[in-house]
A and B are shown apart, each in its own frame.
Chain A
């Protein structure tokens, strides 16, 4: 079947862009993962990137945060291209971007408090211990886990770890958050809690989000716009409702 491009074309009318991805290519050996991928994300928008496992969704957001280097193409964040940035400039850019890892990536040799303090201390922000403590507690209260502050990650459940990871992602109050499958491996109840937290935090801090997911409940709840990544390209984009009634078999398979 030939790849169609942009079968659904409802795009928000917001003007201010947060992320612009232009003609992005990424290949591992002979495997073309991203093949002329284009996407524009607007400020305070939640875009869900939908796609099958191995379709390159995680690669896409790792290119955005600079953990992977694209082979070709341009990524513009808040009006500034990340191509050719020095390590320090990239670091500065990253301080405005939060990244929630699929496996949480909580440092298991540190307590919850140390995990949350880590990004604050590493950004070399001059703050007193009282200010740091207050930020840690605020971040934990946002995810209703203030009581776990001195616990070790091994003492916490999967859902709690996900919320701690979310608190750590939010602690620097980033403008943009990249979520890598935030509900994968969670039971439906906990997954719903995470979806709600994503929306609550987005409302509170006015963040822009790219959410990688193939959990349709998460997509339905969180997406302002859905983008289907297929064969390395932006195959289709539109609202959840538009996707739900689409006739295209590549889209329909996600709703069956």
Chain B
């Protein structure tokens, strides 16, 4: 019996992505290393995303606090606001929101850039110039995304907590020292480390999906548009799937 077209396409695409990922691990860490291009991509992917990630994280911290405050007051635990906001930001909201914003910016950008390079034969031109385009274009972007997102998320968490502090002070008065000491006292190893580790996987997912969609883009402007669009959609879905798996694994390991 023939499988429906959409299911066949999904299975083929998943298989292709798995092969592409395998190719990355087979080739991405072999010599010669493209150090110059890697540093350039770290700048493009990391530094240039900081503003957007910082802004959204700040707003999320602020809004989360303002939304939680009335409920906590109702239950008479308003003093626990920094603890609750801190846990929510560090464990879940900070990494996931920053990763989604990162996916929207970087997966689409990598998908569109590599897609347009593919349709204008720039990737072929690299290959005939003695360059392995997979190493030069894909390996550097994936590694840069994997390394930069965790750094961005650490900064995003700090900025979101700052937003939360301002949110707390809109509705009351708490000193900065008190707010942060309450937040940090409530945090444990099991809150910080698993949340940090999963950010590497988020970054990897964004880099590999963006590169895969761009590298496999169909000819024409529609192909480039589809590559950028599907890169964001798939990267975002993968972030949620990785998050779900990370929670399950940390539960199994007894970190919760």
Contacts and interface: CB of A to CB of B under 8 A. Distances in A.
Interface of A: 62, 65, 67, 87, 91, 94-95, 97, 99, 101-109, 118-119, 122-124
A109 B120 CA distance: 13
B122 interface: yes
A107 B130 contact: no
B128 A103 contact: no
Given A62-B124, A103-B120, A103-B121, 8 more contacts: A91-B130, A101-B125, A105-B120, A105-B122, A105-B124, A108-B120, A122-B130, A124-B130
A97 B128 contact: yes
Contacts of B125: 99, 101, 105, 107
B127 interface: yes
Interface of B: 32, 113, 117, 120-122, 124-132
Nearest to B131: A122
Nearest to B32: A124
A119 B121 contact: no
Contact of A101 (B113, B124, B131): B124
Contacts of A97: 128
Nearest to B127: A67
23 contacts: A67-B124, A94-B128, A94-B130, A99-B128, A101-B121, A101-B124, A103-B121, A105-B120, A105-B121, A105-B122, A105-B124, A106-B122, A108-B120, A108-B122, A118-B129, A119-B130, A122-B126, A122-B129, A122-B130, A122-B131, A123-B129, A124-B32, A124-B130
Contacts of A95: 130
Nearest to A98: B128
A103 B120 CA distance: 6
Contacts of A62: 124
A254 B114 CA distance: 37
Contacts of A91: 130
B191 to A, nearest CB: 41
Contact of A102 (B121, B128, B131, B132): B121
B138 to A, nearest CB: 16
A107 B136 CA distance: 13
B139 to A, nearest CB: 15
Contacts of A119: 129-130
B121 A107 contact: no
Contacts of B32: 124
Contacts of A67: 124, 127-128
Contacts of A108: 120, 122
A103 B220 CA distance: 13
B176 to A, nearest CB: 43
A87 B117 CA distance: 22
B42 to A, nearest CB: 16
